[in-house]
Every structure is written in structure tokens, then in C-alpha cells.
Amino acid sequence: MAAPLKGLILCGGRSTRMQQDKSLIAYHGVPQWQYLYELVQSILPEVYVSCREDQRENLRADIDLITDSVEGGGPSAGLLSANKAFPEAAWLVLAVDLPLISAQSVNYLIAQRQPEKDATSLISPVNHLPEPLIAIWEPSGLKKLWQNVMDGRNCPRKTLLNADIHQVENPFSAEHFNANTPDEMKEAGARLGLK
């Protein structure tokens, strides 16, 4: 039987290259965390925002939060904190640095889910590797991520590369664009028709 699927918006990065908190950039008229939260909430009944303790004050009090409670850096801390809070759940994960992602990509990913695998991941159009932060992580995949992090290997992509996953080409692959620098933020704005 498939694990219940919950949504997770990962906001806990330090945004060093962007020089400002990526979760607060308003590409769509609201902070990016809120855009993604509401997007996934329109598709799944339970959605959580993953953040660091010091980010809580920038988020609305009425949303469901999972504060990083696991040692280690990067997105693995958010993923594993979610797994710690709800170990029986599978997680549809979106990183906050995806300004072009829309419901069509999220719905496509959910339609392609294979819950008997460790994860279902969209494939990056840039390097043709699995996208660990546009993915559905099953409990078995998160167990492997736990083991890797405990062994000092924090990279979720490397976990996927060594796991039994279902990789999917996204017909809407332009939506994978990551905005991690001020120049990429401007490019995202241009693609969205912002002035």
C-alpha cells in the first residue's frame, strides 16, 4: 500500500549566492514560499514549509511548518526533519528556488509516482540527472538518505543516484529553472514577463 503523500516546500537554505532570502522573493506577487505552498496545497491536502528556526518570523503563523531539527546542512536537513516528524509519509518536495514551476509539472510528477520505488524524480534538462528537489521521496528512499547523512554524505542527488528510483522526463522541463543568483533572479523575472 502506498505511503500517504504530503507536500514539502524547502526554504531552509542560506541563499548565500542570491544575497537575500530566496523564499521571500515575490516573482508571483507573494513571497516564493507562499506561491509554492499555495500551488501544492491546491493539489495535495497536507503541505508543510520546511525552514530554519530563524526564518519562522518571516512566515505566516497559520501555515504548517517543519523547523529543521536534524543536524547537517542543505536540503537533506529539511527532508530528514520532515521524515522525523512523519516517518510513514512520502514527500513531494519542491525547492524554493524554482520560480517557474507550475501545477502542470507537479501534477505530472504525481501521475508518474511509483510508490514501490525509493523515489520518483523528474530529470534535469541541464545535466540529465535526477532532480532531488522536484521529486517524490518514499519512506524507503528517506531511510537511505538518513544512512548517507549519518555516514557524512549529505547530497540528496547522490542518494538518488544509488537508489532504486523512477526517473521521468518532464514535458514542461523549462519549469526546472533554478534561480540562485541575482542574475538568475533577473532571468526568471524576464521569463515571467516581470518588469
Annotated binding site: 10-12, 22, 68, 97
Burial class (CB in 10 A: 0-12, 13-18, 19+), 100: middle
Indicate the annotated binding residues for Mg(2+).
97
Question: Three-state DSSP class for 37?
Answer: helix
User: How many beta carbons lie within 10 A of that of residue 30, not counting itself?
Assistant: 13
**45, 64 Cβ separation under 8 angstroms:** no
CA 141 – CA 149 distance, rounded (Å): 12
Indicate the annotated binding residues for GTP.
10-12, 22, 68, 97
CA 29 – CA 20 distance, rounded (Å): 17
